[in-house]
Chain A
């Protein structure tokens, strides 16, 4: 009985992609692309309690350590995707232009298989953002991909709070059509989007004043706790990062000016396809930019996008990251980073930083992840080849010292899953009704109205 139970638990853990390991892990003889201190050849990495404990050659493993031979393999920091809608059961609360009261944390789905696929592409962390339907969207969540664990385990402790803003075609709903009797939502223009933001900050300032007055006992009645304005007050107080979706340089520059008017710094300009046009201004403001590496001219406001965007921003000292905004593209961000070497000749380490250390800085978690350095979280990827090679695949993805994706184990598990499927399909409850049953349902292509910039058939929307 006990044996059977152990076997069940082991099988369950395997099914979840979690190795039942504790204690030390030793990666032997790897080529390490540190993302902070260049490349280290033939080196070992010792992982203890989820942290990188030592990086040196010929480390000897303690007893009970799991040893991974990485001869001929490459190790990089885990990839961080600074714009993702993975593991979310809802993306947009599109009913209002200001939905700062909404929280991505409320809609997390830790069972989303896209997480596992992301791990298979070397992604270990992501910034999960509200969609771009509103001038001010919802509160973001910063997660690590601990697939198989509970929702709470995904949230990165101590990560700064964030919020989604959006400008341009999406929040002004340029493609929306209205039937008779429907009222278009304000704003309908780019200037209206900016006004919506300014209005929200003015309201937030008043709200903050009312809270301060009450605390100073100037008023008797406690102000209403306003879940919409609370996060905006946090922005004004520098306690919440703004991640602002936008394409055009004019409106993104306007946002930086608005932020300066209200005395805060924008965290990241998301997408920023025209960011190269005002790179010095971005550098001066201190915002990061998180971009698509290609996807040029895929919609009207993306017409001025160019391949050299990342290069020009990098040259101007702007912190650039490359994001996916897509469950599918998330799995090959390594190749997106390789492209910045081609377009402009960004050096290898700087290119790698654009999917590791730079997004870590943008998310405010660079003290614990983003590079292969001692005392950082052991968020590591073991690649079969140089990660910028199109032939490279991920062999193992490690999050805080635990292996959450193991290609060899995955392959071994497939026959097991196939057997489980056969067994389940044989159950009455899973059998299709025979004659007289409901007619077969022909699947239809369903357009996901709730996703904004996610791809449909490979292209960004």
Chain B
């Protein structure tokens, strides 16, 4: 009978979206505990129950019903917070370009997501990223395996990259994953292909005009609410209305700005409209400390440190001194921010291998930031920037049970993340499984081959070679070679004549993840390349 009741409870819990794993109580004992909010506990216990931290301290006895892990002296950190990602976002469900893909801009426009907005795609601050998320836990595996439990996630493209969400990297539904949504409004120095704003000049002006329009819209709405008689009602405008929380300083604005002048431009816009400013990227923020300080801005520093990735061609000029200096100076930035008391956090910035995150963090420590300050930025510091430090970011009773158990030195390659708790749910990182082999017997799609393509980058069309090699089971391998160097396809898929893959290119010394999708019709290929810089079409023909 007792057993039956327990079963019933478990079923009920399941019905309410709380899995048995959450309800399970755990205790990590014999651990070094980095609480971040207070002093480290050299040897103590953390108790987790029902998704929350129930107790933490040196003299805690694990509850009788808890599953106890002896950490054997390993360190427990608050779960790490990657404060700038595209995690969980599904590729937009646009129809793949057909034979008319070469039609360029007109074709692009026709494929836009339906909206009542007066503004083109990419210039719509009302886009909410939470609506584009999916709740597949496996997609977060590599981040979780590195000890990350929480991420700020936002769109890849456009000037307005969507209102971001802070999510926990596990959960049975999108709603359960979300810690805060919307978290911030995001603005990138991007352009919109083939129409205004098509340059940095237009990006600045269009953004400025939108904020002025939003302010006026708010004024008109107030006038109308106060007394509608004799006034034409202001037309509803979701795009402008979405900017009002930012103008009212209720929502922070994250500017994607890595280099000095991008940061300066972001701060200029922020000043003009009195915005609560967060700089994302910020690898040259050390050059503009005074401005950041004056603007009361925070910085989310990109751990995708600039590095040299290509050998020089024999007849190339030496690299500019500026480039050499940038790579040498970037790791010192976080230390400078700390000294100036500018709030900071960290993000992976498109790093493809999350193990590099902590290797680079070690370089940042060498660059002059204390380990404690770095860990704080990676946990509580990020939570503070997004106003959720009361519920996550440190190991305190009552907070969300987001924890990472690390054996060995966090900043050393020999470290092992042994346990990760996300909302109290336990994950034990394993060696990543090899990609699933395709179902034997299926025929590789007929799209294989080498194609000469042109990527229609506005103003400077970029020639390239696209190699598509379909594998059994709708898997695609291949490569894309352009002036940005060769790039190997990852996560490639083939569906009929349509294909898609992700790859990484090097732009100005930094890794940039791009997403390529397209279709093959006879000897021609066409599609789009999505990058943080925007979406551009490409087209080409097969090399016989």
Interface residues in chain A, defined as those with a beta carbon under 8 Å from any beta carbon in chain B:
89-96, 99, 101-104, 106-111, 130, 138, 151, 179-183, 220-222, 224-225, 227-228, 417, 420-421, 424-425, 427, 429-433, 437-444, 446-450
Contact = CB atoms under 8 A, between A and B. Distances in A.
B316 interface: yes
Nearest to A418: B321
B205 A222 contact: no
Contacts of A108: 261
23 contacts: A89-B200, A90-B199, A90-B201, A93-B198, A93-B201, A93-B205, A101-B209, A102-B201, A103-B201, A103-B204, A106-B265, A151-B264, A181-B106, A220-B231, A227-B212, A424-B325, A427-B324, A433-B308, A439-B310, A441-B313, A442-B316, A448-B459, A449-B458
B425 to A, nearest CB: 38
B208 interface: yes
A398 to B, nearest CB: 25
Contacts of B260: 111
B319 A227 contact: no
Nearest to B205: A101
Interface residues of B, number: 63
B488 to A, nearest CB: 11
A90 B460 contact: no
B321 A424 contact: yes
A221 B223 contact: yes
B102 A179 contact: yes
B310 A430 contact: no
Contact of A437 (B104, B202, B231, B310): B310
Interface in B85-133: 100, 102-107
B204 A111 contact: no
A-B complex: 10 closest residue pairs judged by Cβ atoms: A181-B103, A449-B459, A106-B204, A181-B106, A424-B324, A95-B198, A90-B200, A102-B201, A95-B196, A432-B311
B225 interface: no
A430 B202 CA distance: 35
Contacts of A130: 201
A106 B201 contact: yes
Given A440-B313, A450-B199, A424 B308 contact: no
Given A93-B205, A106-B200, A181-B103, A449 B460 contact: yes
B199 A441 contact: no
B107 A181 contact: yes
B459 A440 contact: no
Interface of B: 100, 102-107, 194-202, 204-206, 208-209, 212-213, 216, 219-220, 223, 230-232, 260-261, 264-265, 268, 305-316, 318-319, 321-322, 324-325, 327-328, 331, 458-460, 483, 485-486, 506
B318 A421 contact: yes
A180 B483 CA distance: 26
B220 A221 contact: yes
A212 B20 CA distance: 69
A42 to B, nearest CB: 41
A110 B261 CA distance: 9
A225 B342 CA distance: 35
B486 A439 contact: yes
A438 B309 contact: yes
Tell me what chain A mostly uses at the interface: helix, strand, loop, or mixed.
loop
Given A99-B201, A443-B316, A446-B483, 16 more contacts: A93-B198, A96-B196, A101-B205, A101-B206, A102-B202, A109-B261, A111-B261, A182-B103, A228-B209, A424-B327, A437-B311, A438-B486, A439-B486, A440-B314, A440-B316, A448-B459
A208 B180 CA distance: 45
Nearest to B484: A441
A93 B202 contact: yes
A429 B212 CA distance: 44
A3 to B, nearest CB: 20
A220 B224 CA distance: 11
Contact of A441 (B219, B307, B324, B485): B485
B197 A95 contact: yes
Nearest to A104: B201
B202 A99 contact: yes
Contacts of A181: 100, 102-107
Contacts of B261: 89, 108-111, 151
B363 to A, nearest CB: 8
Contact of A430 (B205, B209, B328): B328
B480 to A, nearest CB: 14
Contacts of A104: 201
Given A224-B216, A439-B485, A444-B483, A107 B309 contact: no
A429 B311 contact: no
Contacts of A431: 308
A363 B318 CA distance: 39
B202 A95 contact: yes
A104 B201 CA distance: 7
A103 B205 contact: yes
B198 A94 contact: yes
A91 to B, nearest CB: 8
B195 A430 contact: no
A225 B197 CA distance: 18
A350 B427 CA distance: 81
A2 B538 CA distance: 57
B294 to A, nearest CB: 12
A340 to B, nearest CB: 34
Contacts of A444: 483
Nearest to A439: B486
Contacts of A221: 220, 223, 231-232
B103 A180 contact: yes
B463 to A, nearest CB: 9
Contacts of A94: 198-199, 459
A452 to B, nearest CB: 11
A124 to B, nearest CB: 22
Contacts of A432: 308, 310-312
Contacts of B198: 93-95
Given A89-B200, A429-B306, A446-B460, A95 B195 contact: yes
Contacts of B104: 179-182
B310 A440 contact: yes
A440 B201 CA distance: 34
A91 B200 CA distance: 9
A130 B201 CA distance: 9
Nearest to B192: A95
B204 A107 contact: yes
Contacts of B100: 181
A433 B311 contact: yes
A290 B194 CA distance: 32
Given A106-B204, A424-B324, A447 B199 contact: no
B400 to A, nearest CB: 37
Nearest to B306: A429
A427 to B, nearest CB: 6
B264 A102 contact: no
Contacts of B194: 95, 182
Nearest to B506: A438
Nearest to B223: A221
Contacts of A106: 200-201, 204-205, 265, 268
A228 B205 CA distance: 9
Contact of A429 (B205, B220, B305, B310): B305
A421 B319 CA distance: 9
Nearest to B106: A181
B98 to A, nearest CB: 12
B234 to A, nearest CB: 9
Given A92-B199, A101-B205, A107-B204, A429 B265 contact: no
A421 B87 CA distance: 39
A222 B219 contact: yes
